Structure 1
Amino acid sequence: MRNVVVLGEGIVGASVAYHLTREGVRVTTVDTTRDGQATAAGAGIVSPGGTTSVLPDFNRLMAAAFSHYQWLIPQLAEDGQSETGFETVGELLVALNNDEQSQLGEQLSVAEQRRAEGVGGIGELSLVDDAAAREMFPALSTIHGALYIADAARLDGRLLRNALLGAAEAHGLERKSGTGTLLLENGKVHGVQVGGERIDADAVVLATGAWSAEPLAELGIDIPIVPQRGQIAHLSMPEQVTRHWPIIATFQRHYVLTFPENRVVAGATRETGSGFDYRLTAGGVHEVLGAAFSVADGLRAATLSEVRIGFRPMSPDNLPILGAIPGHDRLFIATGHGPAGLSLGAHSGAMVADMVLGNEVDLDVSAYLPGRFMTA
C-alpha cells in the first residue's frame, strides 16, 4: 500500500494518518470546515474501570484504547508533539442519592474484576465519603459517597488531534482543504477529487464522523450513521488551579472534568433526532449547567466561557463501524463512536491503519465491521 487518502481530520482520521505515515505510506488527508465537528467540541475520558456500559464489545474497546494511549502519548512526545492534554487524574463516580449509593459497591466489584483480568487504566479502587471526595474536588456538592478510580485519564481532543497531525506531517503527511468526492473506475474506488484536483490512491479511508453516510451515498450504499447533537459547557475558575482535580462521573451520564490551569468542562446533552441543527438551545444549556450544579455546586460562581456544539456519529448498536466496505476492498470506514469518540478514536484509527496495510489487528474486530448492518 503506497498511497492512501483519508477523508476527515478529526481524532480518528488524524490517527489513521499518523499510524500509516509511520509505516512509510504516502498519506493525504482531506478535510472541510463544518460546524459541529465532534473532535473540536468534545471532552475525552479514558476510564476502563469507570464505564457503566453493559456492552462487552464496547468495554473491550475501552480497555484496548487505554493500552494504546500508554504507547501513543510517549511516542508522540518522541515525535516532538507533547501537548495532548492527556493526563492521569483519577475519577470519582459519585452517588447523588441513596439509590445510587447502593450501586457503588456493584460498580466497585465490576472494576475489581476488570482489573483482575489485566485491564489497565484502573489502579487503586476505593469507596470514599463526602468529605474525602470534596478534598479531591473542592467544588463538589454534598454527595452520598463515590467510587474512586485512581488511574482514569482525560484528554483534550483539539490538542491530541493537532499532535497527531503534526507528527504525521513530520512523517510526510500532505493535508488538503475541501470536500473530497470518491473517484470510481469500473465500480472500484481509485481515489478522490478535491476541487479540480484528482488524487489517485491505493485505498481511501472515510473518517468523516457524523457525515460519513454522505460519500457512501454516492455509491448507492446506505450506512446507518446519524448525528446526535451534544452541547458542552466550558467554564473558567481563575481563583482555582483545577488541573489535577479528578473527573466527576454520574449515573446519569453527565460529567465534569478539568484542564490546566483553571478550565472546567461540563457535559453533555445527548440529543437524538437533532439532525445537523447547529445551534445552542435554552433547554440544552439549562440541562448541562443544571446537571453540573447538582454534582458540583461550587461551579455556580465560575465564568461561563463558551458552550460548544458537536454532532456525534451514532450507529444503531452503539458500537463503532470499522473496516473495509463490502464489495469495495479499497474503501475503508472508521466512524460511529458516538459519545466515546475521543476515548476510543485514536485506537480505532490505529486498528483501521492496520486493516489498510493488511496487518494483524490487536483484537477481534468482527463486532465492528460495516457489513453487520450495511445495505447496498
Structure 2
Amino acid sequence: MPSSPSSTPDFTLIGGGIVGACLAEELSDSGASVRVLDSGAEPGHSTNRAAGVAVPSLRYLTDREFYDWLRTAKQDLDADVARLEPEYGAFSVARPILRALRETDVEAHGDVLDGLGVGDWLKGDALAQATPGLKLPPSRRYLLDPDGLMIDGRRYLDAVRRRCVARGVDWRQGVTVREVREEGASVSVVTSDGTLPADRVVITAGAWSSGKGLAEATGVRPQRGQMAVLRTDEELNCILSSAYYLAPGVGDDVIVGATEEDTGFAEHVTTQGIGHLLRFATTVMPGLAESVPVELRAGLRPVSGTGRPLAGALPGHERIFLSAGHAGHGLLSARATGKGMAAGLVGDDWEALPYSMCPSHALGGAS
C-alpha cells in the first residue's frame, strides 16, 4: 500500500538516484509501502552526470560469478528499455561496442572471451569497414560486440521515478538525512525536516552512503569521473572502449570519458583531466578536432573496498540495509540490484545477488 505523509512506511530509502529508484519500484510492485528521501533539488545527482556506457566491463572477467551477473543485469536493463521507453520517451541508443585490448589482455583472457561469445575479432579491412572515421593503433587487438548500449541517466531515472510515483511511492526531494538511528524494533531517520519514523531503512545514497551516523559501517567512497560532451557533424557508429571511451550520446552528441580519480568529494572538472580526454578523442577520431565542447562534466562514482557493489544488511544492524558502491556500472546494474534486494527484503531470498556483494562478507561481521 502507498505510504501517507504521516505514516511509517515499510521501507525508507535514503537516496533517489537510479539504484534507489529501481529498488523503490521493485518494492512497491511487491505491495510494500515505500518512502524515498533525496537531498537534491532534483533526483539523481550523480546519475545525471553518468556517461552512460551500459555494457559489462571486461575488468571483471576474473570474477566469473560477478561478470555473469552483470551480463544478466544487461538483460534486465534491456527489458527496462523495452518497457519504459514507449511510455516515457527514449533514453537509450544501441550501438556495437569495439573493445581495444592489449596483447597481454588477449593472452590472458582470449580463450574466456571466445567461450563467452561476446563478439568477433576484427583486423585489417574488416576493422576499417566497421570503424569509419576512427584512427586505431595497430598495437591493439579489437573485439566487436554487437550488443552495446548507451543510457541517458537523467532520462532513465525520470522514467523510473515517474513510475514509482504512479505506484504510490512517497518521493521527497530536498530532504537531507543527517543521521539514522536503530532503536530496537524501529529506526529513526533524522532529517533537515525533522525526525521520521521508519520500519526498515535502505541506504541508496551512492557516493554519499557513508556518514549518517554509520561512517564505520559502509566503506563506500567517491571516485571522480570527468567527461566531455562534443557536438559534431561526424558520425560515430560504435562505442569505442580503450584507455578511455568514445561513444554516441542519446542526443546525437559524442561523449568522451572518463577519468578515475580518488579526489574525495572534489566534484569539478580540471584542465588536466579534460585535456587528456580531448587528446584521446581527437587522436582516435581526428574529425572531432572541429567539434564543439558543449558540456564538461564531473560526477562521483560510489566505489567500495572490494570493487563490488554492497547490497544487503549492514553488519551489526537488524533494520538498516545498504545498496551502494556500483562504481561505473550503476545504470547497467541498478535494475538487477533492485530485483535482488527486493527479493531479499520482502522474501528473505538473497540468492539472486552474488556473494561478493554481501556487506557482511565484504565488511566483516556476522554472516
Q: TM-score range by the shorter chain?
A: 0.7 to 0.9
Render the CA deviation track for 1:238-294: whole Å, top value 9, x for unaligned: x2455xx211111x2x1111124421111011112x011122211111122122233
Q: For residues 331-373 of structure 1, what are the alpha-carbon distances to aligned partners after superposition, in whole Å with 9 as ceiling and x for unaligned?
A: 1111111122222223212222222212534535321111234
Give 1:15's match in structure 2, choosing from 17, 22, 31.
22
- Note if contact 1:90-1:149 (Cα within 8 Å) is conserved in structure 2: yes
Separation in 2, partners of 1:271, 1:364: 28
Matched to 1:74, the amino acid is A
Alignment CA distance shift 1:110-1:299 (3 Å) = farther
Match of 2:228 among 229, 233, 242: 233
**Residue 96 of structure 2 aligns with which residue?**
90
- Aligned equivalent of 1:168: 164
Which of 208, 227, 245 in structure 2 is aligned with 1:255? 245
Question: Equivalent residue for 1:143?
Answer: 137
Measure the CA separation in 2 of the matches of 1:112 and 1:336: 30
- Cα separation, 2, equivalents of 1:94 and 1:214: 39
TM-score, normalised with respect to structure 2 = 0.86
Provide closer, same or farther for how the CA distance between residues 220 and 231 of structure 1 changes in structure 2, counting only shifts above 3 A.
Answer: closer
Cα distance in 1 for residues equivalent to 2:227 and 2:98: 19
Q: Distance in 2 between matches of 1:371 and 1:343?
A: 24
Verify the 8 A CA contact 2:182 2:320 in the aligned structure 1. Answer: no
Q: Give the equivalent residue in structure 1 for 2:48.
A: 40
- What percentage of aligned pairs have identical amino acids? 26
| Further displaced range: 28-37 or 62-71 | 28-37
Q: Structure 2 regions of 5+ residues with no counterpart?
A: 2-8
Q: How does 1:104-115 map to 2 (within 5 A)?
A: 104=106, 109-115=111-117
Q: For 1:156-183, what per-residue CA distance to the aligned partner results, in whole angstroms no more than 9, with x for missing partners?
A: 1111111111111111112112112445
Question: What is the distance in 2 between the residues matched to 1:372 and 1:133?
Answer: 44
Quote the residue 2:207 is aligned against.
210
**2:147 maps to amino acid:** D
- The equivalent of 1:347 in structure 2 is 336
2:219 partner SS:
coil
Which residue identity is paired with 2:343? D
- Normalised to the residue count of structure 1, the TM-score between the two structures is 0.84
Residues 180, 190 of structure 2: 8 Å contact kept: yes
1:119 alignment partner in structure 2: none
1:332 to 321, 325, 332: 321
* Distance change in 2, residues 1:113/1:214 (3 Å): same
Cα drift, residue 5 of structure 1: 1.1
Question: Are the aligned partners of 2:218 and 2:314 in contact in 1 as well (CA < 8 Å)?
Answer: no
Distance 1:337 1:248 in 2: 22
Q: Is the 8 A contact 2:210 2:218 kept in 1?
A: yes
Equivalent AA in structure 2 for residue 286 of structure 1: G
Tell me the equivalent position of 2:346.
357
Give distance in 1, aligned partners of 2:128 and 2:94.
Answer: 19
- 1:268 counterpart (241, 255, 258): 258
Residue 198 of structure 1 deviates from its aligned partner by 4.1
Which SS does the other structure have where 1:213 is aligned? coil
Alignment match, 1:154: 150
C-alpha distance in structure 2 between counterparts of 1:102 and 1:195, whole Å: 52
Find out whether 1:299 has 2:299 as its counterpart: no
Alpha carbons of structure 1 residues 191 and 71: separation in structure 2 relative to 1, 3 Å: farther
Evaluate the alpha carbon distance shift between residue 109 and residue 102 of structure 1 in structure 2; reply closer, same or farther with a 3 A threshold. Answer: same
Q: Structure 2 counterpart of 1:127, which letter?
A: W
CA spacing shift, 1:101–1:139, aligned 2, 3 Å: farther
CA distance change for structure 1 residues 19 and 55 in 2, over 3 Å: closer, same or farther? same
Q: Is structure 2 residue 197 aligned with structure 1 residue 200? A: yes
Residues 191 and 204 of structure 1 are in contact (CA less than 8 Å); yes or no, is this contact kept in structure 2?
Answer: no
In the alignment, the residues of structure 1 paired with residue 215 and residue 137 of structure 2 have an alpha-carbon distance, to the nearest angstrom, of: 52
Aligned partner letter, 2:64: P
Alignment partners' CA distance in 1, 2:235 and 2:285: 16
Contact 1:141 1:298 in 2 (8 A): no
AA paired with 1:179?
T
Residue 16 of structure 2 contacts residue 37 of structure 2 at CA under 8 Å; is this kept in 1? yes
1:184 aligns with 2:184: no
Write the distance in 1 (CA, Å) between the matches of 2:13 and 2:66: 25
Give 1:66 shift: 1.1
1:190–1:202 CA contact under 8 A, matched in 2: yes
**What amino acid maps onto 2:73 in structure 1?**
A
Unpaired runs of at least 5, structure 1? 116-121
The one-letter code of the counterpart of 1:46 is: A
- The amino acid that maps onto 1:206 is I
CA shift for structure 1 position 30: 0.8
Q: Which residue of the partner structure matches residue 222 of structure 1? A: 217
Computed over aligned residues only, the root mean square deviation of the Cα atoms, in angstroms, reads 2.7
Deviation, 1:307, is 1.1
| C-alpha spacing 1:189/1:90, structure 2 compared with 1 (3 Å) | farther
Give the equivalent residue in structure 1 for 2:35.
28
| SS in structure 2 at match of 1:62 | helix
Counterpart code for 1:140? L
In structure 2, the residue matched to 1:280 is 269
CA distance in 1, matches of 2:248, 2:182: 49
Of 280-289 and 62-71, more deviation after overlay is shown by 62-71
